Amino acid sequence: MPRPEVRIVTFSIDGREVQAPEGVMLVDGAKHGDVEIPVFCYEPKLGQPVGACRMCLVEIEGIPKLQTACSTPVKDGMVVHTQTTRVREAQNSVVEFLLVNHPLDCPVCDKGGECPLQDITFGWGRGISRMVEPKRHFKKPLELSPLIAIDRERCILCYRCVRFSQEVSEDYQLILHERGAQSYVGTFDSHPYVAPFSGNIIELCPVGALTSRPYRFRARPWDIEGAGTVCTLCPSQCNVELTVRDERVLRVLGRDHADVDDGWLCDKGRFAYQAIHSEERIVEPLVRDGDQLRPASWERALSAAASALGKARGSVGALAGGTTTNEEAFLLQRLVREGLGSADVDSRIDGSPMPLELQRALAAPALGATVPDIEFAHTVLVLGTEPVDDAPILDLRIRKGVRRRGVQLAVATPRPSSLDRNAKLWLRYAPGAEHAFLAALEAALGASGDVDRLCAVADADPKAVRALADLLGEDGRGDVVILWGERVGAAALPALLNVAGRLGLAEREGAGLLEVPASANGRGLREAGMQPNAGPGLSEVAAAGRSAQQIAAAAADGELAALYLLHTDPIRDGADAPLWRRALARASTVIAHSAFLTDELREHATVVFPAESYAEKEGTVTHPDGRLQRLRPGIGHPGSVRAEWSVLAELERAVSVRVPQGDTNGHSSPLTGPMATRQLVEAVPFYAGLTLEEIGGRGVRWQERAAAEAFPAGPAGPFDVGEPTPVASPHGALRLGTFRSIWAAPEVEHAPALKFLARSATLEVSPADAERLGIENGDRVRVGNDDRSVEARAAIRGNAPAGTVFLDAGLPAGGASELVDGTPVSVDRAGVEVTA
């Protein structure tokens, strides 16, 4: 779908000639002439205006009644007045009406000082009140949810929160009860409003009716500073503004970026800041002393790490994940490759290595889709990912596209998706059967291959696959965007590329592929060289090293002496927890950067460096669509935490034998953050010339810069799809699928406000299987295969496919990674042993 073309119209406002894009609402058009029209209910992010608050009434010549500027598009030649007596009186009136029932408790209100109602009362109100009657009363404040307090007396009934719940996040929980002056916001049956995006209503509220419980009474606007940065808790990389008071992050707000987050945040991004200030956070280096980790000085920790790594030269495996920046990844791979002579670096902790040729083909600038493309595409296919868990903010973007721009949505996933109900078409295939499914789709799009046979291998419905091919492939249908998850797996990628080729995605401006990586900066880590078969800039390496899974196996077999874990807990993030436990136990040296201690680190780590939180970090990250974004420190480091790029640089200096190429200053290792960035940029040809200034506060997509020409082109398709391996046939057992919840993260577990959402192992079972196994909702069950098992709570899901169960991954322990991937599981009710 082509973006609407922007025509400029000229209209007059308060006697001034103003030019503005055609079709924008008068409220926004007026800003082009520096005229502010006050609003409460108007918020373009929420969709069509509702004209409820009546604050924006203006006079338009030729129309007898005053008009709401929020809902009147500017037209050529329109003559608007916002300062006439008539308009002023209407504005005064609305302010007066709004305050009739407002408690005016500004001195004790959290919103005081940053409250649109205060500001508008000051700017457009009469300054006096004629109301002497008693006001409306409600019980207050009440808990709308564990995260949000509601004060219904302050509410001016602008509808924003209700519209958000109904029309943006589509959780359909918030409604307006009663009517008239007795109206109030709540949930239908007063259950707590818990939803992945609930916190946005706090920011939407133009008064102090909805307040953040973690932030309540913590600060006044004049106590705080705002610090812009990027949230790196998931690949969405939303732009945020940290509210900082006395070097503590007290709140996280959205920093609207239409090309990234559309101004929304998920509740993890909004509330997990509490983990930054957790008592349990590691804030000083820890060094092993016998069977204990003890705090140590930086000198000691660095020299202990350097000497241990030095001893293991040539036998070091390194992993990076989580909030790792491009610079850190670049320095770590240089440290390991050049300083320690090992090729074993990876950033796909639970994935399979991706052949370099395929990577280059997939990351080709022409084939890349951007976040806004999702909204303007003709058809969006969500493939093998659950956006609300894997990159939450994209979930909202997809819903927006479907709701407001008529995007056709197709969902192809093993597990039922929360987007199914918005989809024109959804289909299921067996967990891990992406290869067969995509091969079938390619065949249905006209390639050779037997659709029915491949569908049988994928356990997908051939009719649905053909319908999907029709939906995607019909000529002249417009742009298709395929949003695919990294967990789709390397074997499926040739077929994915062929599908993209058949659909001509590379040739269309608004079409393409968009990968949701498994870790927050997955794309950046790979482009910085943090993978076994590619160096910085997806360059070729002399000899490929071991992938994450191979590193684990090698370490467990004693073939690797040292493991370096940068912001990753492989027990949680990896595919095989028992193997990683063996690996960590066997390795003689384990160096980790971590914010929190895990059992394994406590037992096996040689040195633990304190990890910075993203609020303290300096550096860059790369968004899944190629946008480089800048992290800027919002707070100082707690305790003796140091910038981690500098820790890596120190280690490099300590172990290095030679000066790396390309550093014109002659320093082997960076001495400042920007220097680290420069070295990274010099090493990645398609980042060439990029500076922190250019990235600025809004980021820049490298594909849109001239240096993108230096991108190493991959081979042209079609690619050899190969024969898909059949997924294991369950033979009476059940297939195991996994998912990683948005809440399966250490930041959630360490943020007191979010703790109630932290995941424990849940097994999603179809009603048919549950009945067959005699399981009821909430039962404790034991799930197992190959002599391994975990205990989980059963959750019966009406739309889950029979024959497959889905188990939580990403847990600190006891999740899906305890089991053998791809092997059928048996499920039994756990022996209920009641202990007195």
CA distance 532 to 535: 8
C-beta of 107 vs 134, nearer to other proteins: 134
189 contributes a contact to other proteins by CB under 8 A:
no
CB of 94 to other proteins, least distance (A): 5
100 contributes a contact to other proteins by CB under 8 A:
yes
CB of 176 to other proteins, least distance (A): 7
130 contributes a contact to other proteins by CB under 8 A:
yes
Binding span for other proteins by CB under 8 A among 125-133, 489-497, 606-614, 698-706: 125-133
429 contributes a contact to other proteins by CB under 8 A:
no
104 contributes a contact to other proteins by CB under 8 A:
no
- DSSP 3-state helix, strand, coil percentages of the chain (rounded to 5)? 35, 20, 45
For 276, the token pair is 């930054």
Q: Which residues contact 510 (CB under 8 A, 6 or more apart)?
A: 1, 2, 3, 369, 373, 376, 377, 479, 481
Q: Which of 37, 115, 149, 156 binds other proteins (CB under 8 A)?
A: 156
Binding residues with other proteins: total (CB under 8 A): 41
Binding span for other proteins by CB under 8 A among 96-104, 206-214, 650-658, 663-671: 96-104
Question: Three-state SS for 235?
Answer: coil
DSSP state of 733: S
C-beta of 156 vs 332, nearer to other proteins: 156
173 contributes a contact to other proteins by CB under 8 A:
no
C-beta of 126 vs 218, nearer to other proteins: 126
Question: Three-state SS for 288?
Answer: strand
C-beta of 176 vs 597, nearer to other proteins: 176
326-385 residues near other proteins, rule: CB under 8 A: none
Strand order across the beta sheet in which 379-383 lies: 425-428, 408-413, 379-383, 480-485, 512-516
CB of 404 to other proteins, least distance (A): 13
The CB density around residue 782, as the number of other CB atoms within 10 Å, is: 16
41-60 residues near other proteins, rule: CB under 8 A: 49-55, 57
Q: Which of 79, 131, 657, 671 binds other proteins (CB under 8 A)?
A: 131
Q: Which of 7, 107, 108, 179 binds other proteins (CB under 8 A)?
A: 179
C-beta of 94 vs 230, nearer to other proteins: 94
CA distance 734 to 463: 24
User: Is 763 in contact with 794 (CB distance < 8 Å)?
Assistant: yes
183 contributes a contact to other proteins by CB under 8 A:
yes
For 628, the token pair is 């480089």
Q: Treating both helix axes as pointing N-terminal to C-terminal, what angle do 298-311 and 644-655 enclose, rounded to 10 degrees? A: 50
C-beta of 101 vs 379, nearer to other proteins: 101
Of 318, 353, 357, 311, the closest CA to residue 335 belongs to: 318
CB of 100 to other proteins, least distance (A): 5
C-beta of 178 vs 787, nearer to other proteins: 178
Binding span for other proteins by CB under 8 A among 63-71, 659-667, 704-712, 736-744: 63-71
C-beta of 90 vs 575, nearer to other proteins: 90
24 contributes a contact to other proteins by CB under 8 A:
no
Q: How many helices (H) does the chain have, and how many strands (E)?
A: 26, 34
Of 533, 529, 551, 554, the closest CA to residue 542 belongs to: 533
User: Is 289 in contact with 300 (CB distance < 8 Å)?
Assistant: no
CA dihedral for 471, 475, 476, 481, sign (positive or negative): positive
Of 271, 241, 215, 250, the closest CA to residue 750 belongs to: 271
Which residue is associated with the tokens 């109206």?
A: 183
- Whole-Å CA distances, 108 to 112, 205, 219, 398, 440: 8, 17, 11, 39, 62
CB of 130 to other proteins, least distance (A): 5
C-beta of 59 vs 779, nearer to other proteins: 59
Q: Which of 11, 42, 159, 743 binds other proteins (CB under 8 A)?
A: 159
CB of 89 to other proteins, least distance (A): 7
CB of 395 to other proteins, least distance (A): 24
CB of 92 to other proteins, least distance (A): 8
720 contributes a contact to other proteins by CB under 8 A:
no
CA distance 22 to 419: 33
Residues at the interface with other proteins (CB under 8 A): 49-55, 57, 65-66, 68, 71, 89-90, 93-94, 96-98, 100-101, 122, 126-128, 130-131, 133-134, 136, 156-157, 159, 175-176, 178-183
